[in-house]
Amino acid sequence: MPSKHYNEAKKSARKDAWLVFISTNEADCSERVVIPKSKWHITLQGSGREVTKITSKNAAGDTGTTYTTSTFRVSAPYFTARNISFENSSPRPSGEAQPQAVALRTTGDFNAFYGCAFYGQQGTLYDDRGRYYFKDTLIVGSVDFTFGDGKSLYKLRHFTILNQVSQEDVHSVKNWAQGRKSHTEL
């Protein structure tokens, strides 16, 4: 696969285009992808989450902050992903400072993910701000692996906690780390 496959496809979209559809039959792609807020209405179609995967390996200790670790970052509104996997392959946290490693960070509004998978350890899925819909998705991580201030609806097919803690402590593991300050925030 050519380097920067997804980033090049995204760049080819006209700024004034109302809808852009990127379809791929590619297998694994090692690339960090950024969809800027100026690229509205992009749909990314994979060949199945077991077949098509975008992956990278960046932990907060390497890049400086959690915000900059994402394998796939969407700042644009009305983004849709179907049947594709997003992975941050950084190793499990081992008590070091800044172990977060984000597979997907989304800050655009009205983004949706259907039949997708998100793989990581700590900080797998970062629904930073905006409104999101996740349907028939698989989310895999070890601790605090979904977090952010987003207003998200999850209709999950699978939710997997990687075995990092003892059986006695399994109920104290935080998997959803929401950043809202009050129960009145919607």
- Looking at residue 140, its pLDDT comes to 87
Residue 38 forms part of a structural domain: yes
Amino acid at 165: V
Q: For 80-129, what is each residue's pLDDT tens digit?
A: 999 999 999 887 766 555 578 899 999 999 999 999 999 988 888 999 88
Residue 185 forms part of a structural domain: no
Query: By three-state DSSP, how is residue 9 classified?
Result: helix
Per-residue pLDDT of the chain (186 residues; tens, 9 = 90+): 333 455 565 555 555 555 566 666 666 788 889 999 988 888 998 889 998 999 999 888 777 788 888 899 999 999 999 999 999 988 776 655 557 889 999 999 999 999 999 998 888 899 988 999 999 999 888 777 788 888 888 887 666 666 554 444 444 444 445 555 555 555
Residue 183 forms part of a structural domain: no
Residue 151 forms part of a structural domain: yes
CB atoms within 10 A of CB 156: 13
> E strands of 52-175, at which residues?
53-56, 72-74, 80-82, 85-88, 104-106, 111-114, 117-119, 125-127, 131-135, 138-141, 146-148, 151-155, 158-161
Residue 67 forms part of a structural domain: yes
Residue 117 forms part of a structural domain: yes
Domain that holds residue 79: 5-178
Q: Running DSSP on this structure, what letter comes out for residue 62?
A: H
Mode of pairing for the β-strands spanning 42-45 and 158-161: unpaired
- Looking at residue 19, its pLDDT comes to 53
- Looking at residue 24, its pLDDT comes to 65
CATH at residue 136? 2.160.20.10
Strand partners, 33: 72
DSSP string across 94-124: -S-S-----SEEE-SSSEEEES-EEE-SBT-
- Looking at residue 21, its pLDDT comes to 60
Residue 186 forms part of a structural domain: no
CA atoms of 167 and 162, how far apart (whole Å): 12
- Looking at residue 174, its pLDDT comes to 46
Total domains, the chain: 1
CA atoms of 29 and 43, how far apart (whole Å): 17
